A and B are shown apart, each in its own frame.
Chain A
Amino acid sequence: MDAIFLQFLNGLDKGGAYALIALGLTLVFGTLGVVNFAHGTLFMLGAFCAVTLRKLLTLEQVVLDTENLTAWGTATEIRTPYVEAWFGDFGTMLVDYSVPASILLAIPVMLVVGVAMERGLIKHFYRRPHAEQILVTFGLAIVLQEIVKHYFGANPIPQPMPAAFAGAADIGAALGMEPNVIVYPWWRLVYFGFSIVVIGAVFAFLQFTTFGMVVRAGMADRETVGLIGIDIDKRFTAMFGIAAIVAGMAGVMYTPLLPPDYHLGMDFLVLSFVVVVVGGMGSLPGAVAAGFLLGILQSLASMTEVKAIIPGIDQIIIYLVAVVILLVRPRGLMGRRGVMES
């Protein structure tokens, strides 16, 4: 039972990441009708916002110690981060909390990247077939990841979580069960909570603001909204920026769980598309529900007991479920009639 509970928790934090990426994908598809294969790259770029901020915060003052030489005969370097030298304990705390602090950097950066991507390239492909959109956005994704690799290298770059969240929570003991049986990393719990907050904020924005209402109206009937004099294109461009921010923030907070490298976005991209399709193309609640559902199923399928019955099931479960759902409900869990249908 404890094993099932632990895998359920695994599914929640994994599902949180899937849901956040799928949410942005669906926002872009629902508003602009673009199948954006560069969306995973936005997740990766967000992660590299965290890497960049940490690099800036840990820029070091280098003093050469000529008394002690390296093995190759040069003076050893004594390195002290400027932030710590200037601000003392506050500087140390800044470095410690560099990952959550990176969200403040990621929001403007991802907004600019998202809008630039939409205005600079993707808007030219609105009226082109989906196959061409896929090709051009996939090409863009490759270009962006190669740029990141050029500047940051190919190796994963570890991003420590704040020391206060470094350990694991004894959930079993908190629930009155035997201690040390159900333990779960604090940061994964933080990530799950974070994903719920962001998803809630996006839904609230769309539901309770005038801007959101117009966007929803545009998603339902773009032509009619245009006819009443609203420049829906500008709002959709803004939604592309918001989708980029959501993906970027998801990437920032994921860095302590998975040291980021240039390929991070591609790792999530295919799964996120499956999530979108299973949830129903263009359906925001569908994307979120499918994200958590597939995350949990993937984790449960990895249990040794399950794999003993069906070896390798953990590798195919997501695709198997996708096939079954699409056979039973061709538009996905919450798909709407008319989306991607001629």
Chain B
Amino acid sequence: MSERKDGPSRRKVLKGAAAGLVTAGVAPTILTSSAFGQEYRNKPTGDTVTLGFNVPQTGPYADEGADELRAYELAVEHLNGEGDGGMLNTMQPSNLKGNGILGKKVAYVTGDTQTKSDAARASAKRMIEKDGALMITGGSSSGVAVAVQSLCQEMGTIFMAGLTHSNDTTGKDKRRYGFRHFFNAYMSGAALGPVLADEYGTERRAYHLTADYNWGWTQEESMKNATEALGWQTAEAVKTPVGAGDFSQYITPVLNSGADVLILNHYGRDMVNSLTQAVQFGLRDKQVNGKDFQIVVPLFSRLMAQGAGDNIKGILGSTNWNWKLQDEGSQAFVKSFGAKYGAPPSMAAHTCYVQALLYADACERAGTFYPVEVIKALEGHKFDGMGNGPTEYRAEDHQCFKDVLVVRGNDNPTSQFDLLNVVQQVPRSQVEYDASIFGGDLGPYEV
């Protein structure tokens, strides 16, 4: 009986089979393990990486959304090595090379939040599931930011928030996958307080008119805390419906309330209307308690100032960033943006542009698009050269800490854009707070 020598022996076949089974069983586990970070939603496989810009293209904040989109388009241009590079040249430290992100060209898709939470979630979901967006960014509302952030946590997609000012975004509603570069209501109060004391004294009675939703409540709370700490009294705090239009019935009671300061915790169209009407009622010409009556708008934007016209002149408020800042980063951004669009960027545009660059840089530093590693690269990251001085993405709540601007409506504007003057660049140390005071839980890295 002859033995076949040319074929595989039974032992070899069994060994091979066993090895095959082990490989087949274990390899997928290794590939999906977070330790290696190889498989995740919308992992870029071609030569492009797609980002999702979720901004209000319709609805009351459509103009702000249009400016955000301009900033994102500029950021994509700069990341891909086109144009003059903008803040890529000033960001420190920076791993960005102007060749896309990790060598892949940046592409983008857009969604319309409509400044409605459900619409914003739907458009973010569509961009993630259908368009393959690896990161979602943008928006002009805290309600939208919280809703989209929560969706992104569920889907394991990083969300770099646009304009959102509520304490809750990085407080009780914070998420591991959500990051906010914009400042918040607490920081507005902390920055404005000392300036208000300097300008108006410590014996004042404040009357609050507050937009009756999440952001308004936190803004009112923060301003009350800040002003009462100065020694101010709160005469009354009245909630007003969002989109009230005519605020005259809420302003009339202010006239004889004994208050000598009106704090308008309103944003956007509500702020334009309430400020315009408060001025028409002669509040700024009034004397109460032997003092000139004052109006304060804690959150200002240039686009809103345009809507309020002359009524904004002399009014104090706070803002995240202003195009007149003289630091190298701000000037580089203003130059790029102005040359491309013929107008300086708004603070919404600035925050969105910076968010896009920060995400790209984090990917480069992590050496991967794997969200868990990118999150770790962003947490606690310190940088400079992006306006507002040295900045840190605090690991505990994903809130950026940087200098805050106190601004005043310009009495003598030299152009249609020259509406706000920077009164003080309040140092970051003055607006910092303990991450635990607003509660919340970031949640897990792995989802």
Contacts and interface: CB of A to CB of B under 8 A. Distances in A.
Nearest to A263: B60
A72 B339 contact: yes
Contacts of A149: 58, 62
Given A167-B285, A168-B281, A263-B60, A6 B255 contact: yes
Interface residues of A, number: 48
Interface string A245-269: 0000000000011110101100100
Interface stretch (B146-154, B223-231, B241-249): B241-249
Which of B281, B286, B335, B339: most chain A Cβ within 10 A? Answer: B281
A71 B323 contact: yes
A74 interface: yes
A316 to B, nearest CB: 11
A26 interface: no
A92 interface: no
B273 interface: yes
B368 interface: no
Contact of B307 (A13, A76, A158): A158
A157 B248 contact: no
B277 interface: yes
B322 to A, nearest CB: 11
Nearest to A311: B239
A72 B253 contact: no
A259 B62 contact: no
B103 interface: no
Contacts of B342: 74
Contacts of B249: 7, 10, 14, 298-299, 302, 314
A258 B282 contact: no
A81 interface: no
Contacts of A303: 253
A181 B253 CA distance: 11
A302 B251 CA distance: 10
Nearest to B251: A10
Interface stretch (A182-190, A219-227, A235-243): A182-190
B248 A71 contact: no
A74 B344 CA distance: 12
A156 B268 CA distance: 9
A77 B272 contact: no
A156 B275 CA distance: 13
A153 B282 CA distance: 29
A185 B62 contact: no
Contact of B415 (A6, A77, A167, A264): A77
Contact of B334 (A7, A71, A261, A299): A71
B335 A155 contact: no
A190 to B, nearest CB: 12
Interface residues of B, number: 49
B309 A158 contact: yes
A221 to B, nearest CB: 40
Contacts of A67: none
B221 interface: no
Contacts of A180: 286-287
A258 B246 contact: yes
B272 A259 contact: yes
A298 B252 CA distance: 13
A2 interface: yes
Nearest to B271: A156
A104 interface: no
B276 interface: yes
Interface string A146-189: 00010001111110100000111000000000001101110110
B237 to A, nearest CB: 10
Contacts of A168: 280-282, 285
Given A187-B280, A259-B272, A10 B62 contact: no
Nearest to B288: A180
Contacts of B307: 155-158, 259
Given A155-B63, A156-B307, A158-B309, A70 B281 contact: no
Contact of A72 (B236, B243, B286, B337): B337
A304 B238 contact: yes
Given A156-B269, A183-B281, A73 B245 contact: no
A80 interface: no
B108 interface: no
A72 B280 contact: no
Contacts of A324: none
B252 A3 contact: yes
Interface in B243-268: 243, 245-246, 248-250, 252-253, 255-256
A207 interface: no
A328 B382 CA distance: 68
A77 B415 CA distance: 8
A215 to B, nearest CB: 32
A154 B59 contact: yes
A168 B252 CA distance: 12
A263 B62 CA distance: 12
Nearest to B62: A154
A303 B255 CA distance: 12
Interface string B320-331: 000110000001
A72 B332 CA distance: 9
A76 B415 CA distance: 9
Contacts of B250: 302
A315 interface: yes
B338 A71 contact: yes
Which of B58, B246, B303: most chain A Cβ within 10 A? Answer: B246
A14 B248 contact: yes
B344 A71 contact: yes
Contacts of B246: 14, 257-258
Nearest 6 pairs of A and B residues by beta carbon: A72-B338, A168-B282, A158-B309, A302-B249, A154-B62, A185-B280
Interface of A: 2-3, 6-7, 10, 13-14, 70-74, 76-77, 149, 153-158, 160, 166-168, 180-181, 183-185, 187-188, 256-259, 261, 263-264, 267, 298-299, 302-304, 307, 314-315
Given A6-B255, A168-B282, A188-B248, 16 more contacts: A14-B248, A14-B249, A71-B331, A72-B338, A154-B58, A154-B60, A155-B306, A156-B273, A158-B272, A158-B311, A181-B255, A185-B282, A257-B277, A261-B269, A302-B252, A307-B238
